[in-house]
Chain A
Amino acid sequence: MANLSATMKNFCTLEQLAEGRTALHRLHPLAKLAITLAYAAAVISFPIHSLSALAPMAAYPLLGMALSETPWQPLLRRLALTVPFVAMTGLSNLLLDRQVWFYLGALPVTGGLLSCLSVFIKAFLTVSAVLLLIATTPLADLTSQLLRLRVPRVLCLQLMLTYRYISVLLTEAEQMYTAYQLRSGGGRGIRMRDMGPFLGQLLLRSYDRADRVYCAMKCRGYDGTYRAGTLPRLTVRDAAAAASLCGAILLLRLVNLSLLLGRLF
C-alpha cells in the first residue's frame, strides 16, 4: 500500500534530520520541550480574531527551521493531514460570522474571515513547532527526558517498543497485503469480509512476536523495570537559551509587534 511505504519514509526522514549537529540539535531536550510547549500554548491563547499579532510568532518556526536545516517538505506533508478538520472549523466560521469589522479598500473584512485565517495560521505555527522539536531531537532523548520528568516508565518503554516495531509490523502488513492482492483478483484495499482473517492473522503474529520479545528481554535480565540511559546535564547555556526564547514568546504574546511596527509608517 502506498501509505505504508510513505509512512516508513516519513520516519526515516525525521530520524535522519534528528541526527543533525546544528546548535538547535545540540540544545538540551528539556529546553526544546519547554520552548515548544510555551510556544504552542502562546499561539493558541491568541483570541480567535487575531491576525497581525500572530505574524511575529512566525519568526520561531521560520528561523528555527533555517537554523536546524529542516526542509519544508515534511512540514507541508504534516499540514496536509491537519488541514481537513481545521478547514472545516475555519470555513464554517467564515460562513457564519458575517459581521464586518473593517474595510480594506473595497473588500469587507468580516470577523469570520479573520477567525478563519487565524485558525489556519495557528495550525501552521503549532504544527511547525512540533516538527521542529522532533526534527532536532531523537525519540530516545525525548523519552529519556520524559522519564526524568516523572512520566511513568511503563509509558516511556511503550513509546520505545511501539516505535521500534512499527517498521516490522508495517513490513509484515505490506507483505500480507501483496500476497492478498495477488489472490484477490485486483481492486484496492481489502474486502470487508476478509478484514477479519487479515487483521486477525496480523494480530496473532504480533501476539506471538511479543511473546518471543518477552523471552528475549528476560534472557537479557529484564526484571520489569526499564532502565534508560542518562542525558547530559542541562547547561547554563541551554537554560539561558530556553529562558530567553520563552521570554520572547511571552513578549510577543503580550505586545502586538506588528501593530507597533506598522504604526511607525
Chain B
Amino acid sequence: MLTAEHLTVKYAPSDARCALEDVSFTLGDHERTALLGPNGAGKSTLLLALVGILPALSGSVRADGVTLDKTTLAQLRQRLGLVFQNPDDQLFMPTVFQDVAFGPRNYGMGEAETAQAVDGALASLGISHLRDRMIHKLSGGEKRLTALAGVLAMHPSVLLLDEPTSFLDPAASRRLQTCLASLEQGMLITTHDLPFAMDLCERFLFLSRGRLVRDCTRRELGSEEDLRRELESL
C-alpha cells in the first residue's frame, strides 16, 4: 500500500512555481495505476519524490506503514522499486548478473541469497539466458527487462515505472506488458502509450502542471478515445 498526502515539491526552494502541488492519492496492494499527463506535468517528478530523491517541501509519503524521512530512505527505497526511463542510466554494472545483484548486495544479502534473488528475478521475466551477458550488448527491450529485474531482486511491494515502453518497438512493448501483467506487485506507471495503459491498468491518475486533476477507474474512463480527449484537454 502506497499513500501520498498533500505532497508539494519544488526543484529549488527559490522557484516561484511548484513542480508538484498538494498531490494526494492512495494505491492499494496489487493495484496497477497509470499516471498520465502532458510533458512537464510532473509525472517523473512525482516518482522521484515518492522515493525521496527529490525532497518534499511539505506533505508525506507512506509505504507499507513506513513514512518517508531521512532515516527511512533505504527502507522505503527497498519497498518502492523505481525503474528509470532510460535503462542506460540504471544499468551501471558491466554484466547483467552484477547489475541485478547490486541492490541485494547493498541490502545486506549474502552471496547465496543474492544469487537466488538474481536468478529468481531473471526467471520471473524470462531472461535467465541473459545472466552473464555484457549489458552493452543487450537490445533495448532486454535492457528494459534487466533494469526491471534489478529492481525485482530487492523484493519490492510496489513498482514505480517511468515510461517503460519508451525506446521499445511494438514486439518488445508487448513482451514487457505480458511480463508486468504476470507480476503481483502494485504498480504506478507513467506513460504516453495509451493502448499500453488501457490494457494493463485499472486506475488512472491525471497530472497537469503539478496538480492531480482526476483520479478514476478504467470503467469510469470509457474508451481509449475518451482517454485521449481527456489528456488533450489538460
Binding site for B on A (CB under 8 A): 12, 15, 19, 138-140, 160-161, 163-165, 167-168, 209, 212-213, 215-223, 227, 229-230
Shortest 5 CB-CB contacts between residues of A and residues of B: A221-B106, A167-B136, A220-B103, A212-B89, A227-B105
Given A212-B86, A229-B105, 8 more pairs with CB closer than 8 A: A12-B137, A213-B89, A216-B84, A217-B92, A219-B51, A221-B77, A221-B106, A229-B101
CB atoms of A216 and B137 under 8 A apart: no
Q: List 20 A-B contacts (CB under 8 A).
A: A12-B137, A140-B95, A164-B93, A165-B92, A168-B136, A209-B88, A215-B89, A216-B82, A216-B89, A217-B102, A219-B77, A220-B77, A220-B103, A220-B154, A221-B74, A222-B102, A222-B106, A229-B101, A229-B105, A229-B111
List residues of B (87-101) whose CB comes within 8 Å of A's CBs.
88-95, 98, 101
CB atoms of B135 and A164 under 8 A apart: yes
Q: B98's contact among A215, A217, A229, by CB below 8 Å, is which?
A: A229
Q: A220-B77, A221-B78, A223-B74 are in contact. Are A19 and B132 (CB under 8 A)?
A: yes
CB atoms of A212 and B84 under 8 A apart: yes
CA distance A167 to B143 in the complex (A): 14
Q: A223's contact among B81, B82, B88, B106, by CB below 8 Å, is which?
A: B106
CA distance A218 to B54 in the complex (A): 12
In the complex, chain B residues whose CB is within 8 Å of the CB of A12: 134, 137
- Residue tally, chain B, CB below 8 Å to A: 36
CA distance A163 to B53 in the complex (A): 26
CB atoms of B92 and A213 under 8 A apart: yes
Which of B84, B106, B107 is most buried by chain A, counting CB atoms within 10 A of its CB?
Answer: B106
CA distance A219 to B54 in the complex (A): 12
In the complex, chain B residues whose CB is within 8 Å of the CB of A230: 111
Per-residue interface assignment for chain B, residues 135 to 165, with 1 indicating a CB less than 8 Å from any chain A CB and 0 otherwise: 1110000000000001100100000000000
In the complex, chain B residues whose CB is within 8 Å of the CB of A209: 88-89
CB atoms of B132 and A220 under 8 A apart: no
CB atoms of A220 and B102 under 8 A apart: yes
**Residue B127 interfacial (CB < 8 Å):** no
Q: A221-B106, A221-B154, A227-B106 are in contact. Are A215 and B48 (CB under 8 A)?
A: yes
CA distance A221 to B151 in the complex (A): 11
Which of A12, A19, A216, A220 is most buried by chain B, counting CB atoms within 10 A of its CB?
Answer: A220
In the complex, chain B residues whose CB is within 8 Å of the CB of A223: 74, 106
CB atoms of B94 and A216 under 8 A apart: no
CB atoms of A160 and B103 under 8 A apart: no
In the complex, chain B residues whose CB is within 8 Å of the CB of A216: 82, 84, 89-90, 92
Q: Which chain A residue has the least Cβ–Cβ distance from B51?
A: A219
CA distance A42 to B78 in the complex (A): 51
In the complex, chain B residues whose CB is within 8 Å of the CB of A212: 84, 86, 89
Q: A163-B94, A164-B94 are in contact. Are A220 and B89 (CB under 8 A)?
A: no
CA distance A165 to B136 in the complex (A): 9
Q: Which chain B residue has the least Cβ–Cβ distance from A217?
A: B92
CA distance A161 to B53 in the complex (A): 21
CA distance A213 to B89 in the complex (A): 5
CB atoms of A218 and B105 under 8 A apart: no
Q: Which chain A residue has the least Cβ–Cβ distance from B94?
A: A164
CB atoms of A220 and B151 under 8 A apart: yes
CA distance A220 to B51 in the complex (A): 11
CA distance A209 to B90 in the complex (A): 10
Q: B150's contact among A160, A220, A227, by CB below 8 Å, is which?
A: A220
Q: A215's contact among B53, B78, B137, by CB below 8 Å, is which?
A: B53
Q: Which chain A residue has the least Cβ–Cβ distance from B132?
A: A19
In the complex, chain A residues whose CB is within 8 Å of the CB of B151: 220
Q: Smallest CB–CB gap between A207 and chain B, Å?
A: 13
Q: B88's contact among A139, A140, A168, A217, by CB below 8 Å, is which?
A: A168
CA distance A138 to B134 in the complex (A): 10
In the complex, chain A residues whose CB is within 8 Å of the CB of B89: 209, 212-213, 215-216
Which of B81, B94, B107 is most buried by chain A, counting CB atoms within 10 A of its CB?
Answer: B94
CA distance A114 to B94 in the complex (A): 44
CA distance A139 to B95 in the complex (A): 10
In the complex, chain A residues whose CB is within 8 Å of the CB of B51: 219
In the complex, chain A residues whose CB is within 8 Å of the CB of B94: 139-140, 160, 163-164
Q: Which chain B residue has the least Cβ–Cβ distance from A172?
A: B88
CB atoms of A219 and B98 under 8 A apart: no
Q: Which chain A residue has the least Cβ–Cβ distance from B108?
A: A221
CA distance A227 to B114 in the complex (A): 12
Q: Smallest CB–CB gap between B164 and chain A, Å?
A: 15
